Amino acid sequence: MTTTPTSTQPAPVTVIGLGLMGQALAGALLRDGHPTTVWNRTAAKAAELVTRGASLADSARDAVAASPLVVVCVSDHDAVHEILDPLGEVLHGRVLVNLTSSTSAQARETAEWAARRGTTYLDGAIMAAPAAMGTADALVLYSGPRSAFDRHESTLGSLGGSTYLGDDHGLSSLYDVAVLGLMWGILNAFLHGAALLGTAGVRAETFAPLASTGIATVAGWLAAYAQQIDDGTYPADDSTIDTHLAAMDHLIDESELAGVDAGLPRLVKALADRAVAAGHGGRSYAALIEQVRVAPDHPPRRPVGTASPTPEGQAS
């Protein structure tokens, strides 16, 4: 049986999974005074947390039973179900916050699974390293029922900055991979630039400040491009795709002449070539999204929550 904390008492929380991130999550909760129950398949990983006041449960069932709010952070989606599937009725009436990396489809499937067990489910994505948890540098994204997020927002705030994205449980995972893709795009482009300049004896540390300035400049364009994308109009206020395309050829030529792998700029140019072929050459760079939205020779995916098309366009 769990008790409802008063407004002056830090709420009890259970943390399941004590890898580096799970330990950081439990540690952040303990720092803020939350009675914290922990469980891990390898109990030894809880030793340091126990010395700080955590309660080590004998089983996953006991861990879930100890708190109205259960945070899970394990290796993958399958591990979540391996641990929680056998628990049955003990999950009923609790709020389950899953901070395990997953796909949006897995998040939605887990939400349906939780609902069948009378469990309120929030999916989450951690946008920080373990060392940052519990600090202003940590950001955790949440999606699922707003009422559940609001009820536990103060407790979840112990983990770091909290951002609620909406009712669709899959949003956290989608945001997560979207930001990761952005990160890899920036880093890969920096590596390519460093390799290219390295052929002229320029050190990467010399390139880094100018690269940072370029990234900041591009970041300043995002709001206007985002508006163009949402409006579906792409006025060439700064430059056209045709102009970008010519510069892309220069980057490919420079790379090949220097003996640097030109695969990355060729990939970017292929996307621009498709946009020009589709009649977008005179539009802004944001118009490339029309090529990104649907892969070649692949049917478009129906957005979540929209109705399936009826045969031959007939009204349903």
Q: What is the pLDDT of residue 310?
A: 33
Specify whether domain 13-166 bears CATH 3.30.200.20. Answer: no
Mean pLDDT of 36-62: 97
Mean pLDDT of 163-188: 97
Residue 38, number of CB atoms within 10 A of its CB: 28
Q: What is the pLDDT of residue 7?
A: 53
Q: How confident is the model at residue 68 (pLDDT cuts 50, 70, 90)?
A: very high
- Cite the residue boundaries of each domain of the chain with CATH code 3.40.50.720: 13-166
Could you read off the pLDDT of 145-174 as tens digits, one per residue? 999 999 999 999 999 999 999 999 999 999
Mean pLDDT of 44-73: 98
Q: Pick the residue with more confidence: 295 or 190?
A: 190
Q: Examine the pLDDT at 97 and tell me if it is beyond 70.
A: yes
CA distances from 290 to 188, 232, 282, 308 (A): 23, 9, 14, 22
Mean pLDDT of 172-185: 97
Q: How far apart are CA 169 and CA 151, in angstroms?
A: 17
CATH number of 199-292: 1.10.1040.10
Q: What is the pLDDT of residue 295?
A: 75
Q: What is the pLDDT of residue 88?
A: 87
Q: Examine the pLDDT at 124 and tell me if it is beyond 80.
A: yes
Q: Examine the pLDDT at 179 and tell me if it is beyond 50.
A: yes
Q: Examine the pLDDT at 239 and tell me if it is beyond 60.
A: yes
Q: Examine the pLDDT at 105 and tell me if it is beyond 50.
A: yes
Q: Examine the pLDDT at 301 and tell me if it is beyond 80.
A: no
Q: Examine the pLDDT at 303 and tell me if it is beyond 60.
A: no
Could you read off the pLDDT of 73-89 as tens digits, one per residue? 999 999 999 999 999 89
Q: Examine the pLDDT at 69 and tell me if it is beyond 60.
A: yes
Q: What is the pLDDT of residue 299?
A: 55
Q: How confident is the model at residue 245 (pLDDT cuts 50, 70, 90)?
A: very high
**Mean pLDDT of the chain, nearest integer:** 92
Mean pLDDT of 13-36: 98
Percent of the chain scoring above 70 in pLDDT: 91
The three state secondary structure string of the chain is CCCCCCCCCCCCEEEECCCHHHHHHHHHHHHCCCCEEEECCCHHHHHHHHHCCCEECCCHHHHHHCCCEEEECCCCHHHHHHHHHHHHHHHCCCEEEECCCCCHHHHHHHHHHHHHCCCEEEEEEECCCHHHCCCCCCEEEEECCHHHHHHHHHHHHHHCEEEEEECCCCHHHHHHHHHHHHHHHHHHHHHHHHHHHHCCCCCHHHHHHHHHHHHHHHHHHHHHHHHHHHHCCCCCCCCCHHHHHHHHHHHHHHHHHHCCCCHHHHHHHHHHHHHHHCCCCCCCHHHHHHHHCCCCCCCCCCCCCCCCCCHHHCCC
- Cite the residue boundaries of each domain of the chain with CATH code 1.10.1040.10: 199-292
